[in-house]
Amino acid sequence: MTDPAASTFSTPAALKRLKRRRAADVRFRLYGLCAILLALGALVLLALSIGSQAISAATYHVVRYDVTLDRAVIAPPGEDTPEDIARNVDGFWELARDNLLATFPEADKDRATRTEVSEFLTRLAVLPTARKVAEQPQLIGNPITLVAPLND
């Protein structure tokens, strides 16, 4: 019989080419894996960066002051109904602002600094306290702890 023809894949040159092709394939797979790991690392770094900058949006600071609720400021004559007391946010803010300015006496030297310190609290920050006092008018004239979030 006749000898079968020699396969083209069994010659030394073909085996050498096949070995180079497999090495190139392994290299290509490693490059792809490195690219994926680099992209995942960049994604984690981006997420950490966004999270570290956004954490301040989820937190807030409060100020606590022991204030005496002056009847003349909180419930002036003729405005002493619970509805009037709840609407008198300016009176509560005035008490909080005066205590804030007393805490920082150097802020009383000029108007710009006084305004800047006064902006630490918004007028609406004292609204929960105003509502609480409107519900319990017996608190007027007594010292309470005023808790208000600081302005951004």
Answer yes or no: do 64 and 127 share one domain. yes
Name which of 99, 98, 97, 85 is nearest 129 in CA terms: 85
Q: In whole angstroms, give the CA distance from residue 73 to residue 102.
A: 17
Name which of 126, 78, 75, 77 is nearest 98 in CA terms: 126
Q: In whole angstroms, give the CA distance from residue 76 to residue 13.
A: 105
Answer whether 141's CB lies under 8 Å from 133's CB.
no
Q: Which helix (H) or strand (E) holds 136?
A: none
Query: How distant is the alpha carbon of residue 120 from its chain centre?
Result: 17
Q: In whole angstroms, give the CA distance from residue 75 to residue 126.
A: 15
Answer yes or no: do 94 and 144 share one domain. yes
Answer yes or no: do 66 and 134 share one domain. yes
Q: Which 3 state secondary structure label does DSSP give 28?
A: helix
Q: What is the pTM of this model?
A: 0.60
Count of Cβ atoms closer than 10 Å to residue 50 Cβ: 10
Quick one: average pLDDT of 2-9? 61
Name which of 67, 91, 63, 64 is nearest 144 in CA terms: 67
The domain in which residue 48 lies consists of 12-56
Answer yes or no: do 35 and 93 share one domain. no
Answer yes or no: do 82 and 133 share one domain. yes
Answer yes or no: do 69 and 103 share one domain. yes
Q: What is the pLDDT of residue 3?
A: 59
Q: Is residue 7 very low, low, confident or very high in pLDDT (cuts 50, 70, 90)? A: low
* Residues 101-144: tens digit of each pLDDT: 888 888 878 888 888 888 888 888 888 988 998 898 888 888 88
Strand-pair category, 62-68 with 143-149: antiparallel
* Residues 62-86: tens digit of each pLDDT: 888 888 888 888 888 887 788 888 8
In the chain, the number of structural domains is 2
Query: How distant is the alpha carbon of residue 2 from its chain centre?
Result: 84
At residue 23, does pLDDT exceed 90? Answer: yes
